[in-house]
Amino acid sequence: MSTSFKTQCDNATKLAKDVEPAPLPSVNHLTYKDYDNVYEPSDDTFLLIDAIHHDVPIALGSRSSSGGAIRSVELGSGSGVNVVAMARAVQGAGWKEGMFYATDINEVAAKTTEGTIAANGPWDDGFEFGVHVVDLLGETHTPGLPFWDGKGVDFVVFNPPYVPTPPEEVGGSGIEASWAGGLDGRVVIDR
**Model pLDDT for residues 141-168, shown as the tens digit of each residue:** 555 667 667 777 899 999 988 889 998 8
pLDDT of residue 140: 53
**In a 3-state reduction of DSSP, which class is residue 111?**
helix
Banded model confidence at residue 9, pLDDT cuts 50, 70, 90: confident
Q: Cα–chain-centroid distance for residue 185?
A: 19
Sign of CA pseudo-dihedral 93, 178, 184, 47? positive
Are the CB atoms for 26 and 120 separated by under 8 Å? Answer: yes
Min mean pLDDT across 14-23, 69-78, 122-131, 135-144 is at 135-144
> What radius of gyration do the chain's Cα atoms show?
17
Q: Between these two residues, 136 and 117, which has the higher pLDDT value?
A: 117
For 42-56, what is each residue's pLDDT tens digit?
999 999 999 999 999
Residue 87 — very low, low, confident or very high, per pLDDT cuts 50/70/90? Answer: very high
Q: By percentage, how much of the chain surpasses pLDDT 90?
A: 55
Cα torsion 52, 55, 61, 63 to 10°: value is: -60
CA-CA distances (angstroms) from residue 75 to 24, 65, 186? 19, 25, 16
